[in-house]
Amino acid sequence: MPRPAPCRNTLVDGQVLAYCTGGLVLDVPAKSLPSLVDWTLKEAKLGQPKLSKPGKDADPLLVLTEAALERYGLPATLTEEEKLAGRIPEGHKVIKQLTRAQWQLTKRGFGPWARIYRPATGSERACVQLCIPSWNALDTRHWGEAGQLPPAELARVLGVYASRVMTPRGSTAVTGLELMTALHPATRASAQDADGKRHSEHNPGSLGKDPLDCAPCEAPDGHPLLKDLPRFHVRGPGEKLFEEAYDWARPMTDAECTLRHLVGIDVNMAFAAGANGLNVGLGAPTHVTNPVFDPKLPGSWLVDLSHVDLSKVKVAKDTWVELDGSLLPSPFTPKGERPEGPAWYATPTVAYAVELGYEVRPVEAWVRRENGRYLDGWYNRLRDAYLATMADLGVDADLARHDFLTAMDDYKARDPELAIVVSAVKATVKGGLGKLRERPRGEGWRPGEPWRALSRPTWRPDIRAAVISRTRINLHRKIVKHAAFTGQYPVPVAVLSDCVVYAAGGPSPLDFLPYLEGKPLPGGFKLGINPGLVKHEGTQSVLWGEEVRERFNAPELNLARYIKDGTVTDVDNGE
């Protein structure tokens, strides 16, 4: 049986040791990088089982310490030029050693996440991936101080992540995207033909193996589909799908200023929850004019939603409520502004307008008749990884609300290594979705030049837009349910992505979240660790909020950006 990846190499007393998950330590006789690769595949037999029946076993991952880098003739750190290139030069002596041994590198070369392979022969794969922390392979934004951990501790962190998510394939963003493919491979083995042979065929429910063009309205600026637009042309809402997370705030009312506290709540794994059960397109888009809106049909719709009035909305069948719409963000734009005319929206956004009780009449649409719940397995895997790791940290899914708030206090300090895993899991969600609309990076790229990402079947901006649309709508629905139950107040004073800030009389979410006979408001905010439920993000005083806004002369400064610790500087003033 293959041992679980990853494995970490370090130099101890002149001998190379491999630290593996579960506390296993192996002697490594290899004296060169090519022989290390051979040893990994032939003797150590490291790896991880496939995540789906049509999939493939994960390639071994070797994490090299600075001592191991020295042992195998590699630099401990990259030069500024190499950092910019993302790799060491092709003429490096170690790359020549690999070439002589008939090993190959992928197009990204020998960088922080290097893949060393030989072309597959039959079902046998020969591929090893390297992770080099001292070359900044483990981004501190997502992995914290993991790159500075001793070998055994880092092996534990990456081992838990690998067993619960998958063996890292690069950054958390890359791994998030690779997890989608691992759970839904493009092809599968067919049934036996008349000669008893199996062939590769399309795997139903996958995105297929060939990239698809997006609809013109879904194309980001600079995309080849837009090459005929005039130079410096700025597309408006009627030309461009713009489904993004909330960044909205408003001045506080006089009544809110009489309260003492600003309390932030944060939706757990909000974008993962937005992907759960979501029907997304699997095939190419089809253009239609004057369509009848179908909430079950994934796509992008050009429709005027400016008539939707938040002062009167339907919150249940035949149940309408009146609200102060001027205090609520519009659900149709990231900035919370009411739309002024026709604009492109993903299906969940248009469906929400219908849910609120308003008629919609699309002018045109790009719809995907071949569709399915492609992200369900992805969501389940990441949800389970998140919940299992939080449970290890003492935060269980079945805790009562008071116990939950207590358990969340300083949960990271109980096991800092597992806290790193939690951070990486959450980054895998956001990064994976971001990769669905990856754009070229680097100062050398110019509009009209090829995008490598466009060659991937998983370059799907429509799926990203649908997930973000549903996530924003989910949040707005809870805000409306909350406002409808409690009357005009409280309503949020700021919303940033998955964080909502309310003015309250006390410092706890329990001071403004309504509970009926001990149960949370149906359809509203509920405290808990499950994806879609909320946790306490932070509390500051109302005086702090007013002072900050006055200091920066910004009455609508988004306080949700700073509610966690109250720190505001000239650099991150929300501009």
| Cα distance between residue 230 and residue 186, in whole Å | 37
Q: What is the pLDDT of residue 488?
A: 59
Q: What is the pLDDT of residue 13?
A: 32
Which tokens belong to 560?
Answer: 């949700």
DSSP for 211-241? --PPPGGGPPTT-GGGTTSPTT----TTTS-
Residue 476 and residue 331: Cα distance in Å, rounded? Answer: 6
DSSP E strands, 100-146: 104-105, 113-121, 124-131
CA distance 489 to 254: 12
DSSP 8-class letter at 443: T
* Structural Rg of the chain based on CA atoms: 26
All residue ranges of the chain with pLDDT < 50 are: 1-14, 443, 571-575
| Domain assignments of the chain as residue spans, ordered by start | 3-138, 218-244+277-372
Query: Whole-model pTM?
Result: 0.93
- Secondary structure (DSSP) of 151-213: HHHHHHHHHHHHHHT----SSHHHHHHHHHHHHS-SEEEPPP-TTS---EEE-TTS--SS--P
Q: What is the pLDDT of residue 451?
A: 85
Assigned token pair, 104: 């190959």
Cα dihedral 429, 435, 436, 438 sign: positive
Q: Please give the Cα distance from 524 to 332 (Å, whole number).
A: 19
C-alpha to C-alpha distance for 390 and 425, rounded to whole angstroms: 11
- pLDDT, residue 15, reads 59
Closest CA to 240 of 222, 256, 259: 222
DSSP code at position 452:
G
Report which secondary-structure segment, H or E, holds 353: helix 347-355
Both tokens of residue 387? Answer: 């919940």
Contacts 24+ apart (CB under 8 A), 391-400: 392/418, 393/418, 393/419, 393/422, 395/529, 396/529, 397/528, 397/529, 397/530, 399/528, 399/529
What pLDDT score was predicted for residue 445? 59
| Number of alpha helices (DSSP H) and beta strands (DSSP E) in the chain | 16, 26
The whole-angstrom separation of Cα 196 and Cα 306 is 61
Look at residues 133, 155, 164, 160 and name the one whose alpha carbon lies nearest to residue 23. 155
CA 314 to chain centre: 32
Query: Nearest-5° angle of CA 348, CA 354, CA 356?
Result: 105
Which residues lie closer than 8 Å to 326 by C-beta, 6 or more apart?
Answer: none
| pLDDT of 2 | 39
Residue among 451, 453, 462 at smallest CA distance from 435? 453
The conformation of residue 95, written as its DSSP 8-state character, comes to: H
Residue type, 1: M
List Cβ neighbours of 440 (8 Å cut-off, separation of 6 or more). Answer: 222, 449, 451, 452, 453
pLDDT for 14 equals: 39
**268 contacts: CB under 8 Å, gap ≥ 6:** 386, 528, 529, 530, 531, 532, 533, 534, 535
How distant, in Å, are the alpha carbons of 40, 220, 274, 530, 535 from that of 498?
A: 42, 23, 11, 14, 11
| Helical residues (DSSP H) of 44-165, grouped into ranges | 66-71, 80-85, 93-100, 140-143, 151-164
